[in-house]
Every structure is written in structure tokens, then in C-alpha cells.
Structure 1
């Protein structure tokens, strides 16, 4: 993952740990200096491990690899900052998976657009037994996206994202239209 860094020193040179009789041995000193060059990146990585696993600070290739550890949904075509944000939010988004708020965040992070998610459910409390229940009997969610440019949000990818992050028993509709549109939707039901 990390390559050799020119001139990178080690905080614990191996030659200093040898008995005194090897201090004057030129071959032993050169051999251990070469090994120090190999071990120095390991010390540097371990000393900075917190920065490596922080998506805001880690090297780009490591951040992309780390995204797999937290099951972050990232696309290699995204800008680096967007991939870093997706990874940073992945664990929190997994906790909200299946909720309107979680679906809103997933779509916003994936496409960088404003999203409106409405669902048919509801909760209420009533002191009267047999009171009307909120929401509707049919479990359904609608995802509305109004990007500046309709081509900014590929409909197939949006459908896949909604399908993967909604509760399995809930039907869904996806609506993508320009910012001023009122009814130019492209519904996708599942």
C-alpha cells in the first residue's frame, strides 16, 4: 500500500540496539541501515495510524480501500472529497438505513442533490380507543430529486440506491425532474 519514502528516518535505528562490539563493523552497520529503510515506513504508518483511518486525512488510495471496511457506497468517478464524505458518514448511515432520513442522506451523499423523501407511515397517540391511525395502510415511500441538470442523477443508479436502502416490504416511487418542474416526473416503482 505505501511505498518507500526517500530519506525517511526511523525513531529506533537497529544499529543502536547492537552490542558495542558490532559498532565498528562496517558491514553490520550498512546491513542494518538498509533494514532501517525498510522498517521506517512501518514506524511512520503506526505512529500516524489515527490519520490513516480518518477519511478526512488519510491518503486517497488508503481511503478508497478503507471504504470497503465500512461498506461505504462510493463510486471511483466521484471527486475525492465526495468519496471521503461518503466514507465518513457510512457508519452513521447504516444506523439510519430504512428510514426516510437515512434514505435522504444516502441519496444526498451519492448524488450531491437536494432530496425530499415522503413515506406513508405515521405514529400517533390517542386517549380514545379505536381512533383513526395516521398514514395509510399501503407502505410506500416517494423519493423526489430536483437537480439543476436531470443528467446529473442517473435514474438507474438512483433506483438501485433506493431499492437497496428501503425496507424490503415498502413500495417506492422515484421522481427526478428539473428545479422548476411540477409534474415532469419519471416514476420508478418497486
Structure 2
């Protein structure tokens, strides 16, 4: 049931209490304003609590998805509500570091709660003298290692899709999921 259709919501400011004395005594006017109160109560209550809608920790799940779109954060439906809350709360940081090793590691760490290591070959070629032959270019490749207590709880395809959002399109990557050596 949508929040606006919840029956019996109390109105925070009854209209009848704000009427001048002459109108407040009229039975028809009181009943009419009570009907308006019933219609306006969900709207007024939503406006009174609107700040909670903008807080990822408090927003209702359906509004959280809209909030993620508002901050230009692609959210997969398969992520849990808690994972989505964490990602939306860190959206600015994720955008700031997008396309970097730090951004990739942060994104996957927020999703898994584990330790993330990103190994990058680089791809920069240098020579001592400007006349020296450059040598063979190094093909770029990224190895991502996610270490968690219980790897069976992770969906590798979802993690792979999340990693693909941060790794440049021309760079292949390998995703490894390992179990933490610490006792659970």
C-alpha cells in the first residue's frame, strides 16, 4: 500500500482549528474541513518528514532508488536495501574517484564489506634517452581481489558488473574472490 493511501493518518494541523470562530461553529464547515484534513494529511505528514526522505539511512526503499537516480548513481535491483543505502550515502565520494583504483576499491568494499586489492600493470612505457627504442608496449590488465569472510554469500556476476562500471572499457580485468584467513 502506498504511503499516501494509509487509512486513518492524523493531520498535524487540523483546518477546523484555524477557522475564525463564526465558521468554526458551523457543523457543515467543520465536516467539510475534516474531509480536507483526511485528504491533506498524507501530504502534510510527508512534507513534515521530508528531510528523512533525503537521508539515505532513513528513506523508504522506493524513494531510495529515486534518490540514487538523483545523484546519478546506477543501482542494480539485485543489491540489498542496505547496500543501496551505503552506495547512495557515499555517492559523492564514488563520483569523485570514478575511474581510479581508489574508486574501484571503495565501490567494491562498500558492496562487500571486505578488503579489496586492485593490481594494475600500468601501461606507461619509458626510456632513458629520447633516442632509445621504446620497447614492447604493456597491454593493460587489472586484477581485482576481494577478500571476505564468506565468499559464498557474494554474487560474482553482480560484483563483476559493478567493477566494469569503474574499469575503463578497453581494459580487461580479472576478479578474484577469496576467503579471509581470519577466523569468522
Question: How many residues are matched?
Answer: 171
Where in structure 2 are there 5+ consecutive unaligned residues? none
1:114 maps to: 115
Q: Residue deviations 1:81-135, cap 9 Å, x none? A: 3332122112321221111111111111222221111222389xxxx875x99xx
Note if contact 1:8-1:40 (Cα within 8 Å) is conserved in structure 2: yes
Higher relative contact order, chain-length normalized (CA < 8 Å, sep 6+): 2
Which of 73, 76, 79 is equivalent to 2:75?
Answer: 73
SS at match of 2:90: helix
CA shift in 2, pair 1:105/1:75, >3 Å: farther
1:8 maps to: 10
Note if contact 2:148-2:180 (Cα within 8 Å) is conserved in structure 1: yes
Where in structure 1 are there 5+ consecutive unaligned residues? 181-190
CA shift in 2, pair 1:147/1:73, >3 Å: same
1:145 maps to: 146
Q: CA RMSD in A?
A: 3.0
Note if contact 2:119-2:142 (Cα within 8 Å) is conserved in structure 1: yes
Note if contact 1:15-1:33 (Cα within 8 Å) is conserved in structure 2: yes
Which consecutive segments of 4 or more residues in structure 1 shift more than 4 A? 16-21, 74-77
Determine the C-alpha separation between the residues in 1 that align with 2:154 and 2:62. 26
CA shift in 2, pair 1:23/1:177, >3 Å: closer
1:57 maps to: 58
- TM, length-normalised to structure 2: 0.74
